[in-house]
Amino acid sequence: MPLDPLAKRLLTMMAAAGPQARSRPSVEARRQSLAKLMQFARADAPDVTASDGTLPGPGGEIPYRLYSPASASERAPGFVFFHGGGLVAGSIATHDRIAAALAHATGCRLVSVDYRLAPEHKFPAAVDDAIAATEWAAREASSLGIDAERLVVGGDSAGATLAAIVCQEALQNAGLSIVAQCLICPVLDFEEISPSREAFAEGHLIDRITIEADLADYLPGSNIDTGDPRISPLRATRLAGLPTAIIHTAEFDPMRDEGNAYARKLLAAGVAVEHVCHDGMVHNFHAMGAILPQAQLVLSQIGEQVRRAVET
């Protein structure tokens, strides 16, 4: 299917506003760019209330934002959410509308986690924070109004990287019960360059220069093994027994192939998978409801999928 006309218009506008010759963005420019992009998020969640707090982490207190739908029961399903941004950008503030929309759509009490970012905090700081936050949400489920037996872990883009790693780590270290993982436009492989990363390396919302800059800022040195599943979850070899996977990829996303490949690997390992590759869409499309009608549709679809998973 061709690129969606509204998505094409967005990419054309972004290209016109950007410099003709792309260079490695500074960390601050990367963060400002994502914050501006997330202003296109439009997701109605009128019944959701939010409150901020902190939880204990391996490097100090981790801020979080708890979203509660008005329809949630006293012990509702829980959703631990990690925002995108290449592990160098984004926050609970940039993803506030998306987190609220997911809480509304899924009926879960959602904990949005402000994990540590690179380059100030290199790998594995974000991974350690994500694991700690998930363990804390399970441990404190009662006080959060969450049913610990119905816990979902998810995220978008690099946040989905963290969600996939958390589920893999939980499988290796029993004791944490996760019923579903929700991966939206996930970044899952830095070991090999897929055909979609080659095909959409430029002019498709996130480009190769930005992806490479994010990885360089995130890793503590050039000698790090990018095939480590804590960096490239697609490279994990033990997948049987992982929680149900809800995976959404986009046809014109550089990360499309790795998300599709992970869905296939999980299915082959006997994991229940609901996977949709959205025709004509680009990376992060779910967060651009002010421009793309499909954004609201996919959030509603995710809501239905999560509700089924937590009630199974």
Catalytically active residues are 157, 253, 283
Distance CA 62, CA 195 (A): 37
Measured from the Cβ of residue 143, the count of other Cβ atoms closer than 10 Å reads 7
* Backbone phi and psi for residue 64, each to the nearest 5 degrees, phi listed first: -145, 165
Residue from 173, 187, 171 nearest 233 by CA: 187
How far, CA to CA in Å, does 152 sit from each of 50, 78, 281?
18, 6, 25
Residue 246 makes CB contacts below 8 A (sequence gap 6+) with 154, 180, 181, 182, 183, 274, 302, 305, 306, 309
Q: How deeply is 124 buried, as exposed, middle or buried, from its count of CB atoms within 10 A (0-12, 13-18, 19+)?
A: middle
Distance CA 24, CA 281 (A): 25
Distance CA 278, CA 22 (A): 28
Structure tokens at 3: 């690129």
For the chain, state the CA radius of gyration. Answer: 18
Q: Is 16 helix (H, G, I), strand (E, B) or coil?
A: helix
Distance CA 298, CA 292 (A): 11
